[in-house]
Chains A and B, each alone.
Chain A
Amino acid sequence: MNLLYFQLGGSPYAIAQEAIADVAPASAIHPVPLSPPAVLGLAERRGRAIAVIDLPCLLEGTSRETTSTSHLMRLAAPLEGAAFFVPAEVFSGAGSPASPGHVWIDGRLHVLLDALALVKASTAFH
């Protein structure tokens, strides 16, 4: 299975490639008042506004500043209006399933992320 993978806080994570529409460098993110804490705000991608979800906030409970290595992973349909904020390098590669929720990539065990569950968690996260 094709995967996109990255590291947050020293922990390796992976997400299915078909759940992602594209990957781009993190552009300007505009905060939205009264939005959940895991929603950083709105960003522009190919002429459309997308909601940016803070993955470090969801996975580690901490927020990160935008750096030169930060990326936005825009989600594929039916979640094409949202993107994950990933403050790390993003790589693509093939992986093999390990235990449920985990995959092997280049001989290393990664946590397999569920995009839909993360979007739901971001709206319910307080």
Chain B
Amino acid sequence: MQKKLAASFLMVTFLCTAVAMAVPRLQPDPVWGAALVVCLDTAIGLCGAWFVSWLVVRRIKSLAAAASLISRGDLTQSVDVEGSDETAELARSFSTMLVNLLSVLREVESSAEQICSSALTLSRTTEDVNHATSGIAEAAAAIARGADAQAEDVARTSALTRDLTGSADRVANSATSMQDAAEEAAVRANTGAAAARRAAEGIVELKTAVDASADAVEGFQGRADEIGKIVTFIVSLAEQTHLLAINATIEASRAGDEARGFAVVAEEVRRLADHVRGFADQIGSVTDEIREGSHAISRRIRESVTAAGAARELVDRAAVSFDGVLDAARGTTDRSRAIARSVEEQRTLARQVDEALERIVRIAKENAKGTEETSSATTGQNASMHALAVSARELARTSDHMKGLISTFRLRN
């Protein structure tokens, strides 16, 4: 710039000198010549000054225009850096600063993008971790509740086992009582069987006696039938006598007054025959009743015989049942002893089960305690992850804000 200014000044000086030397030749009048020289030199001076100012202001205007665009955020402007004067040096420095600034801003933009993406990923990850931690906490709580329930169930089972032990004791006592009762039943079954056999013998004797009675009643029934036949014959005789008396009465009435006495006798005979007929009818009725009664008695006796036979069978069955009861009582005694042995074994097993259940209860309580601690730890972790998620979201918002700030610059065409 200094060289250009010096050259411009020498050129103006040279032109002014050349004008001052050439005007006296063209204008002889010294006044007009001096005036002409002043005018020409002034014009040359003004042109030189304009040229010098153009040289200085041209680059500065270009730099000012670029600075104006940069101040509005447009960093995509290129600056003309040709030349080697101070203005070109200023433009080169300005361009270098602009390139560096653009690079820094692009780097900041990329970093803000990465920070935002990472913050979002971190936020989602923390949310996932938080969700998983919540699941773990719920599972731990469920495990704790299950462990508590398991402890309660085991406690109840232990109580049931103790009750079972008590029941086994009672079963043992009952088995002992049943054994005593079975022995007593065996004694009584023996007695009952003997009594049943004696009853069977008595029933046989009774059946024989009843059979004899039935035979006697049937014989009596045969006699009643004979009486019935005799009564029928008497009735027949009475009817014939009745008719004979009627016919005698008819003949007497036909004979007139001389046969009146005969008619009276015939009438008496007829009445007698009627009385005989009436008595015979009564005897017949009584005989029929006797026959029916003897039939009923015979039937009842036969039924008694049948019932005695059935009773005999029942007594025989009872005797067999008593024998069965005796065998069953003996079997019950043996089984009672076996039950007592089984109950003792069951009692031992129940005791071992009770001890095992107590160990299970202890382990279940320890598990419940561990799961509760796990649950509380996961709850704390959950809070931390929640805070981390909040921070990540805050970081994402900050990076968004940074991106917003950077977006005010125009970094690309």
Q: Which of B239, B254, B270 touches A92 (beta carbons < 8 Å)?
A: B270
Instruction: Report whether B247 and A17 are in contact in the complex, using a CB–CB cutoff of 8 Å.
Output: no
In the complex, A8 has a CB within 8 A of chain B: no
Instruction: Report whether B243 and A21 are in contact in the complex, using a CB–CB cutoff of 8 Å.
Output: no
Q: Which residue of B lies closest to A20 (CB)?
A: B250
Q: List 25 A-B contacts (CB under 8 A).
A: A2-B249, A2-B253, A17-B250, A18-B253, A18-B254, A20-B250, A21-B250, A22-B247, A22-B251, A23-B243, A23-B246, A23-B247, A23-B250, A24-B243, A24-B247, A25-B239, A25-B240, A25-B243, A71-B243, A90-B243, A90-B246, A91-B246, A92-B249, A92-B250, A92-B270
The interface residues of chain A lying within 8 Å CB-to-CB of B243 are 23-25, 71, 90
Q: Which residue of B lies closest to A90 (CB)?
A: B246
The interface residues of chain B lying within 8 Å CB-to-CB of A17 are 249-250, 253
In the complex, A40 has a CB within 8 A of chain B: no
In the complex, A39 has a CB within 8 A of chain B: no
A: contact size bracket: 10 to 19
Q: Shortest CB–CB separation between residue B246 and chain A, in angstroms?
A: 5
Question: How long is the Cα–Cα vector from A23 to B251 in the complex, in angstroms?
Answer: 11
The interface residues of chain A lying within 8 Å CB-to-CB of B246 are 4, 23, 90-92
B: contact size bracket: 10 to 19
Best-buried of B239, B246, B270 by chain A (most CB within 10 Å):
B246
Question: How long is the Cα–Cα vector from A18 to B245 in the complex, in angstroms?
Answer: 15
B interface majority secondary structure: helix
- 0 or 1 for each of A38-69: is its CB under 8 Å from B? (1 = yes): 00000000000000000000000000000000
- 0 or 1 for each of A62-92: is its CB under 8 Å from B? (1 = yes): 0000000001000010000000000000111
Q: Shortest CB–CB separation between residue B192 and chain A, in angstroms?
A: 64
Question: How long is the Cα–Cα vector from A21 to B243 in the complex, in angstroms?
Answer: 12
Question: How long is the Cα–Cα vector from A76 to B243 in the complex, in angstroms?
Answer: 16
Q: Which residue of B lies closest to A19 (CB)?
A: B250
Question: How long is the Cα–Cα vector from A92 to B243 in the complex, in angstroms?
Answer: 9
Question: How long is the Cα–Cα vector from A17 to B254 in the complex, in angstroms?
Answer: 9
Which of B31-73 touch A at CB < 8 Å? none
Best-buried of A22, A76, A91 by chain B (most CB within 10 Å):
A22
The interface residues of chain A lying within 8 Å CB-to-CB of B240 are 25
Question: How long is the Cα–Cα vector from A90 to B242 in the complex, in angstroms?
Answer: 9
Given contacts A17-B250, A23-B250, A25-B240, 17 further A-B contacts (CB under 8 A): A2-B249, A2-B253, A17-B253, A18-B253, A20-B250, A22-B247, A22-B251, A23-B243, A23-B247, A24-B247, A25-B239, A76-B254, A90-B246, A92-B245, A92-B249, A92-B267, A92-B270
The interface residues of chain B lying within 8 Å CB-to-CB of A22 are 247, 250-251
Q: Shortest CB–CB separation between residue A9 and chain B, in angstroms?
A: 22
Q: Which residue of A lies closest to B251 (CB)?
A: A22
Which of B205-251 touch A at CB < 8 Å? 239-240, 243, 245-247, 249-251
The interface residues of chain B lying within 8 Å CB-to-CB of A71 are 243
- 0 or 1 for each of B281-320: is its CB under 8 Å from A? (1 = yes): 0000000000000000000000000000000000000000
Question: How long is the Cα–Cα vector from A24 to B242 in the complex, in angstroms?
Answer: 10
Best-buried of B239, B250, B254 by chain A (most CB within 10 Å):
B250
